[in-house]
Amino acid sequence: MKTIPFIKMHGLGNDYVYIDCFLKTTAELIAKSDLADLARCVSDRHFGIGSDGLVLILQSKVADARMRIFNADGSEAEMCGNAIRCVAKYLYESDLCRDVHMEIETLAGIRALSLHVDNEKVDQVTVNMGKPVIQPDSIQSGMDPIGYTSVNMGNPHAVFFRDTIPQLPANTNIEFVHVRNKKELDVRVIERGSGETLACGTGACASAVAAIYHGLTEQTVTVHLPGGELTIRWDEGNQLVFMTGSATEVFRGTINLEDYEYQHAFSGTKK
């Protein structure tokens, strides 16, 4: 039987199914799997485990671990701020890396993390999200043009300080932001490949950077998301963004890969 263990974790409700590929047998099975198809299966909230996507925790030659992220639609993402905090929590609490300062490799590059540990459990994680790339406000053509700020945090984001939902190009993430005051933002995120999520780490960073860039807030901001709060600090001197937030384990279990194969063969969606 082709079974692999998994762990369900979330960062402010942004939930993923995590698979530990440090385990040799698991790594071998994953290497033979259609990862896009597996991500779609496990993410299904009616017929699967239910999540915003699938995350693989892998060995790395250049960091303490490597993270691969697949959205609910099977597409692979470069980076996820909420997921990387959960990966760090898992690495520490599973004794795969007992350093409170660790590095994790992603498609967007290596990210450095600092873990806040209480009674051997990871409570909060601060992530150096890297340097944001800001483009001048763009205007989407159409009957009702809407300006937005383009911020790349390792993956692309379009940040709107308005309420109207625009028509946007594919392969971007969209943030709608309300400025409460100089220290607080309300943010809702539509993530490419997953739809609206309860939280998005890179989206919170992009929103904070855009707000600071336009002089709407101070350089340290509390971002209120439907799933909770993140603290975002933009060190403009070094051009680095730091995100601090929680990581929570929900449950553990096993995936029977043969069941997923049968399910898709029966439904006609298996290629």
Active-site residues, by number, are 80, 200
Distance separating alpha carbons of residues 127 and 81, to the nearest angstrom? 8
Q: 3-class SS at 149? A: strand
Distance separating alpha carbons of residues 29 and 145, to the nearest angstrom? 49
Distances (CA, A) of 252 to 56, 67, 114: 15, 19, 25
Strand partners, 223: 185, 230
CB 175 within 8 A of CB 187: yes
User: Which residues neighbour 134 within 8 Å (Cβ) at sequence distance 6 or greater?
Assistant: 149, 150, 151, 209, 210, 213
Distance separating alpha carbons of residues 230 and 227, to the nearest angstrom? 10
